[in-house]
Structure 1
Amino acid sequence: MKDGGRIVNISTTRTRLSSRGGAAYASMRGAIDVLSQHVATELGQRRITVNVIAPGVVATDISGGIVRNNPE
């Protein structure tokens, strides 16, 4: 990557909230958060920025559409 580049990783707000059945998913996304922090430190001198986007609830088919099908 050239100096001054940009890295954008996708995570989730579930790394900050706990819920049943979410351990594996949240821990893998949590690894992205930690990796991003370390890579930012390592590449900062080269003016390479590292950001993490962590969207909130999104209506998808994940978990059988539990979010999408919930009227609340």
Structure 2
Amino acid sequence: MRSGLAISGYRKLGTFTHPSGARRLVSMRRGYPLLRIAVDRISVGFDEILLSTAAAESIAADLRSDALS
């Protein structure tokens, strides 16, 4: 199930529910690295945030270091 924009092979933007039941907030674009962030569904309303960004690796490193602090 999805609510949003899906241009196959190019762009996905919106909320998507995986067949497993996982709710995802998605902003994905072909050609960019994907950042996958697991979040608390009760607090945020989603299980994961999927974001395509050129800075995916540095954001992931920052999130990991903050989680370890």
TM-score by length of 2: 0.22
| Greater relative contact order, per chain length (Cα 8 Å cut-off, separation 6+) | 1
- Larger Rg computed on CA atoms: 1
Higher strand share: 2
